[in-house]
Structure 1
């Protein structure tokens, strides 16, 4: 519930071995879906917050930028109009389009993440923006 637990707390709550936690944390850190922090007792805590998903999507979209640039350089090397250059141009255009869409969706999704639901006295849920 706090968005932050130690490896020991994770192992206990998930009923798995500390080695499983270590392996999972390493994997999730590689994807930047969890981050390490030290608490006041100098213990490592693993943190997940709403912004990590946004940042992960932005990194994913930006990871395509290098391929797009390399593909466009390859077009000149292979010669405009050749079948290989055409494939590279199509791949670059496709990834550019998908990346732009992913960034737009991440921006819109971020607003969803920061819209909290409040329960009214009659038990119904209503959205509330934290950015208002």
Structure 2
């Protein structure tokens, strides 16, 4: 209804209208919505040339979860947290999530720390809390968080009211990590170009290095553009 939230079907009709060359006013009339609703929806989700119904729906869901009020603290059975989840459940999920991170090439303990931070409602833990949860030494945690900080997947801040460090993960973590990865690709591409010049760009090795350089440059650009687009959508 006019003034209500757009549905997934509404977004499909908007995308179809844009693809068909319709203006905002024409699309709005089809949806029985104000023109401003359509223009605002398209602008915040990439503009007329980049609007996609599925991505717009996903971005809206993320924004809705981010704005959702924190549930009130309630009484729960012994051994469960305020949401009724047991420590066993959290540990099992964290272990499975960590295994998937490790399969991407991330070090095992860095994977365990990152998974545990994702499982924490606050998105943050102190080094002492990580030591207790993961049952490892402080030195092991220190090495793991050092790796994650290098990848920009977590950030460090001082725990309020104490001198302890607290480690945080937020919605921008994968945006920052994507930029770090793109920068690494750029350095590899530059070194591959240097290698082609040194070995001879017309030689088999030189041609191979030039192909590697071109691929990494283009993929890196695509990564940055995609990350910037998603960051803009989530910021709206």
TM-score, length-normalised on structure 1?
Answer: 0.70
Report which of the two has the higher share of strand.
1
Q: CA deviation at 1:111?
A: 4.5
Deviates more, 1:84-93 or 1:33-42: 33-42
Q: CA 1:73–1:25 in 2, change beyond 3 Å: closer, same or farther?
A: closer
Q: Which ranges in structure 1 are unaligned for 5 or more consecutive residues?
A: 115-129
Aligned to 2:175: 54
> Does residue 5 of structure 1 match 2:131?
no
* Distance in 2 between residues matched to 1:17 and 1:52, nearest whole Å: 25
SS in 2 for 1:50: coil
Q: CA deviation at 1:32?
A: 2.3
- List aligned pairs for 1:92-111, cutoff 5 A: 92-111=213-232
SS in 2 for 1:81: coil
> Does residue 88 of structure 1 match 2:209?
yes
Work out which of the residue numbers 18, 29, 35 in structure 1 matches 2:149.
29
SS in 2 for 1:45: strand
TM-score, length-normalised on structure 2?
Answer: 0.42
Q: Which ranges in structure 2 are unaligned for 5 or more consecutive residues?
A: 1-120
How many corresponding residue pairs?
Answer: 114
Q: CA 1:70–1:17 in 2, change beyond 3 Å: closer, same or farther?
A: closer
Conserved 8 A contact 1:8-1:18: no
> Which structure carries more relative contact order (alpha carbon 8 Å, separation 6+)?
1
